[in-house]
Amino acid sequence: MIVVFGSVNIDLVCRTDHHPRPGETVPGSDYQLIPGGKGANQALAARRAGASVAMVGAVGDDDMAAAALAELTSAGVDLSALVRRGPTTGMAIITVDRHGENTIVLSPGANARLAHTDLAALSLGANDIVLLQMEVPLAESLAAAQAARAAGARIMLSIAPFLPVEREALAMADIILVNETEAADLARHLGLAAGPDGAATVATLAASLGRTVIATLGADGAVAAGGGETIAVPSLPIEPVDTTGAGDTFAGVLAAYLDRGESLETAMLYAAVAGSLACTKMGAQPSFPQKDAIEEAADRPPSAA
């Protein structure tokens, strides 16, 4: 089983001609309420890829909670460990101007009240994979990682959004996930020289940390390094419509195929395909592909993709 310990948000999105200046009111479009949060995103992506998934997260005692959980509920993600804590659900207030540029105000809401002890509602074991991100309190995520490691579970840590995680904390993760920018940020934080490209930086991080490090590289696919081995997989050749959630898709689908017993290379290939497919539709969670679509696209020759 895959257990996600992380954030649950609702995104309130409104389009405007231009971003308001201080004191200015501008007309906007009808708003959209879109489920989000990196934890919920990864849980949904893994579930749609066919895995059994449990979500450990927190929502508030407000009307937004149901909207934030809608996609997880319809997909059959196990929400038995979800808690209601505090008055508000996490919310990202997003304005998008005519150029596609956005401004975001993130209110953590109940995410700030998630505790590592909430993980105890589930019985973890050596056959489980635990996914962690950076949108709930870091101390609670690290304590959750300690509990998961004590239970023998594998731990995947997604350093997104980037926070300066110390070397000792990174040692608790079996797999560290970053994008190319986060890889360079992490290398600098650890006093390492970032390489000329993402692959070189990943190799440097893996050698220094003694852990498998995987970086998503956008249109260039993904690369992993660890144990003296480097794996590179391509993305699909697509015309991107909206890249929101592509990294979370990669993380969730990677966990799903590892949970099935696939090799790291095979799991990365399916994850890169899924991340590409997620970029062909608007929105994050609504764009996450189902298992059949992932495997059909992965089996096509590149010229037919």
Known active-site residue 63: no
Q: What is the pLDDT of residues 47-87, one digit of tens each?
A: 999 999 999 999 999 999 999 999 999 999 999 999 999 99
Higher pLDDT: 101 or 50? It is 50
Q: What is the pLDDT of residues 113-155, one digit of tens each?
A: 999 999 999 999 999 999 999 999 999 999 999 999 999 999 9
Which residues fall within 8 angstroms of residue 250, CB to CB, at 6 or more apart?
A: 45, 177, 216, 222, 271, 272, 274, 275
Select which of 197, 248, 259, 292 is catalytic: 248
CB 259 within 8 A of CB 129: yes
- CA atoms of 205 and 192, how far apart (whole Å): 8
Q: What is the pLDDT of residues 201-258, one digit of tens each?
A: 999 999 999 999 999 998 899 999 998 899 999 999 888 777 778 899 999 999 999 9
Amino acid type, 249:
T
Strand locations in the chain (E)? 2-5, 9-15, 32-36, 53-56, 58-59, 83-84, 90-96, 102-107, 129-132, 154-158, 175-179, 212-216, 222-226, 229-233
- CA atoms of 192 and 196, how far apart (whole Å): 13
- CA atoms of 19 and 267, how far apart (whole Å): 41
Domains of the chain by range and CATH? Answer: 2-8+37-89+109-304 (3.40.1190.20)
- CA atoms of 222 and 295, how far apart (whole Å): 17
- CA atoms of 236 and 274, how far apart (whole Å): 9
Lowest pLDDT segment from 35-49, 110-124, 288-302: 288-302
